[in-house]
Structure 1
Amino acid sequence: MAIRSPLNASLHIHSFTIEPVDSRRLASLCGQFDEHLLQIGKRLGIEVRNRGNQFELIGDKSLTQSAEAVLRQLYRETRGSAELTPETVHLFLQESGLENLSDALHDQDPHKPLVLRTKRMTIQPRGPNQQKYVRSILDHDINFGIGPAGTGKTYLAVACAVDALEREQIRRILLVRPAVEAGEKLGFLPGDLSQKIDPYLRPLYDALYEMLGFEQVAKLIERQVIEVAPLAYMRGRTLNNSFIILDESQNTTVEQMKMFLTRIGFGSTAVITGDTTQVDLPRGTRSGLLHVIDVLKGVNGIGFTHFKSKDVVRHPLVQRIVEAYDRFDLAQEQAREERRGQRDDA
Structure 2
Amino acid sequence: MVHLLGPEDRLLATIEGRFPSVDVHVRGNEVTLSGLPNDVARVEELISELIALVQGGHTIAPGDVTESIKIIADGEQRPSDVLGQNIVSSKGKAVRPKTAGQRDYVDAIDEYTIVFGLGPAGTGKTYLAMAKAVQALLRKEVSRIILTRPAVEAGERLGFLPGTLSDKIDPYLRPLYDALGDMLDPETVPKLLAAGTVEVAPLAYMRGRTLNEAFVILDEAQNTTPEQMKMFLTRLGFNSKMVITGDASQVDLGTGLSGLRVAQRVLGEVEDIHFSTLTSDDVVRHSLVGHIVDAYGDYDARQAAARHERDRAAEFAQRAEKRTGTGGPSGRNPRRGTSS
TM-score (norm 2): 0.67
Confirm or deny that 1:150 pairs with 2:122: yes
Question: CA shift at 1:188, angstroms?
Answer: 1.7
Q: Equivalent residue for 1:339?
A: 310
SS at match of 1:180: coil
Q: Deviations over 1:281-326 (max 9, x none)?
A: 132x100000000000011101110111121111111111111110
Give the counterpart of 1:214 among 150, 162, 186: 186
One-letter amino acid of the counterpart of residue 212, structure 1: L
SS at match of 1:320: helix
Is contact 1:247–1:272 with CA below 8 Å preserved after alignment? yes
SS at match of 2:147: strand
Give the counterpart of 1:251 among 216, 219, 223: 223
**For 2:307 and 2:254, how far apart are their aligned partners in 1?**
22
Confirm or deny that 1:170 pairs with 2:142: yes
Q: Equivalent residue for 1:190?
A: 162
Is contact 1:264–1:270 with CA below 8 Å preserved after alignment? yes
Give the counterpart of 2:277 among 293, 306, 311: 306
TM-score (norm 1): 0.66
One-letter amino acid of the counterpart of residue 224, structure 2: T
Question: CA shift at 1:119, angstroms?
Answer: 4.2
**For 1:165 and 1:231, how far apart are their aligned partners in 2?**
21
SS at match of 1:204: helix
One-letter amino acid of the counterpart of residue 104, structure 2: K
**For 2:313 and 2:211, how far apart are their aligned partners in 1?**
53
Alignment of 1:68-147 (within 5 A): 114-120=85-91, 121-147=93-119
**For 1:330 and 1:117, how far apart are their aligned partners in 2?**
38
Identity rate of aligned residues, in percent? Answer: 57
SS at match of 1:214: coil
Is contact 1:254–1:289 with CA below 8 Å preserved after alignment? yes
Confirm or deny that 1:223 pairs with 2:198: no
- Segments of 5+ residues of structure 2 without an aligned counterpart are 1-76, 318-340
Give the counterpart of 2:298 among 312, 317, 327: 327
Is contact 1:144–1:303 with CA below 8 Å preserved after alignment? yes
Give the counterpart of 2:262 among 261, 274, 291: 291
Question: CA shift at 1:337, angstroms?
Answer: 1.5
Is contact 1:118–1:166 with CA below 8 Å preserved after alignment? no
Question: CA shift at 1:336, angstroms?
Answer: 1.3
Q: Equivalent residue for 1:269?
A: 241
One-letter amino acid of the counterpart of residue 220, structure 1: L
- Segments of 5+ residues of structure 1 without an aligned counterpart are 1-108
Q: Equivalent residue for 2:60?
A: none
Q: Equivalent residue for 2:324?
A: none
Question: CA shift at 1:344, angstroms?
Answer: 2.9
Say how many residue pairs are matched.
237
Q: Deviations over 1:104-138 (max 9, x none)?
A: xxxxx997994212444422211111001000001
Question: CA shift at 1:181, angstroms?
Answer: 1.2
